[in-house]
Structure 1
Amino acid sequence: MSQVKNDHMLNLLCGTMVTLVRRDGPDLSARQLAVFLTCYLNDGAHTVRGLAAALNVSKPAITRALDRLRVLGLAERKPDPLDRRSVLVRHTPKGQAFLREMRAIMAEASGSQADRDDRAIGQVERLSIRRAG
């Protein structure tokens, strides 16, 4: 991937994260956000074991992240009816609302970043024209 594309993605991430920390709402760590997004963006049932494997972190780390998500109302844990030893992670209405909000924030950050990229390209083009002329 080109450096410009990487910078665009990093700026989009930065804009999204800055907006998330400035607003009045849950303040998630990177791990908590990764667990949340993995659960909400990937179909199917999620278990602590499965999340630990998918994110390549320990089961206790996933449990701590899920504990925080539960306190914030962003996820629930329920016993698996097919295997009572296993716990399934469930979506919540508050979690669905948070995901919608994140999508809106990212869309806005993406538009703002595209505007900045267009302005920067225009400045480079103007400089090139001046130097050539």
Structure 2
Amino acid sequence: MTVTRSTAGGRRNSRRIRHEDLVRLRMTLGRLGRVLRQQNDDGLSYALISLMFAIHRMQPATAGDLAAGEGVSPPSVTRSLNRLVELGLVAREADPVDRRNAVISLTAAGEQERQRILRSREVWLSDHLARLTDEQLHALLGVLPVLELLCDPELP
């Protein structure tokens, strides 16, 4: 398989990557993401946790903003928001600019829960990184800039 990338001048660079390696990379990164997201022991669903993190990033936000940001339907976001409000993790208040809309933000309890989830994931990751040799850890940390680059939405 050839990976093709446009350069700033419109020129294309091509590099060969074996299909097996591409599949292995995709599956490994996906699996690691899933495993990290599962490091939560309080019964909140992935959808609720994802919405809490989106609210943190975007707050204050409207339900429409959140639906667009999460790529889900407004009714789905509304159901999840109702559950988060019931749990005391999220607050809805009238939008001071447009009283027809509500702005959503995390409550203090919601921020504490978000921090707890992050700590739980970091503890899991730290425990698993401790299993690596110094050389393995150094190699892993060396690819962080490349992985961060892959996450850049501005890449072609």
Q: Is the structural similarity TM-score above 0.5?
A: yes
Q: Deviations over 1:45-89 (max 9, x none)?
A: 211010111111111100000011111111011110110111100
Q: Which residue of 2 aligns with 1:109?
A: 124
CA contact (8 A) 2:52 2:106 kept: no
Contact 2:60-2:103 within 8 A present in 1 as well: yes
Asked if the contact 1:16/1:105 (under 8 Å) is kept, the reply is: no
Q: After the TM superposition, which of the residue ranges 88-97 and 6-15 deviates more from structure 2? A: 6-15
| Identity across the alignment (%) | 23
* Aligned equivalents of 2:37, 2:76: Cα separation in 1: 24
Q: Which residue of 1 aligns with 2:46?
A: 30
What is the Cα-based RMSD across aligned positions, in Å?
A: 2.6
* Residues 93 and 103, structure 2, Cα contact 8 Å, conserved in 1: yes
Give the gaps of 5 or more residues in structure 2. Answer: 1-20, 137-156
- Equivalent in 60, 63, 66 of residue 78 of structure 2: 63
**One-letter amino acid matched to 2:79:** R
Match of 1:20 among 23, 26, 40: 40
How far the C-alpha of 1:28 sits from its partner, in A, is 1.8
- Aligned counterparts of 2:25 and 2:97: Cα–Cα separation in 1: 49
SS of the residue aligned with 2:130?
helix
CA–CA distance in 2 between the matches of 1:35 and 1:14?
Answer: 18
Q: How many residues align?
A: 114
Unmatched segments (≥5 aa) in structure 1? 122-133
| CA shift in 2, pair 1:75/1:54, >3 Å | same
**Equivalent in the alignment of 2:63:** 48
Change in Cα spacing, 1:12 to 1:60, as seen in structure 2 (3 Å) is: closer
TM-score (norm 1): 0.71
Give yes or no for contact 1:16–1:109 (8 Å, CA) kept in 2. no
Indicate how the Cα distance of structure 1 residues 111 and 4 shifts in structure 2: closer, same or farther if over 3 A, else same: farther
Please report the TM-score for the alignment, with normalisation by the length of structure 2. 0.62
Determine which structure has greater relative contact order: mean sequence separation of CA pairs < 8 Å that are 6+ residues apart, divided by chain length: 1
1:92 equivalent to 2:107? Answer: yes
Cα deviation for residue 16 of structure 1 reads 5.2
What is the SS of the residue equivalent to 1:20? coil
User: Relative to structure 1, is the Cα distance of residues 109 and 4 closer, same or farther in structure 2, using a 3 angstrom cutoff?
Assistant: farther
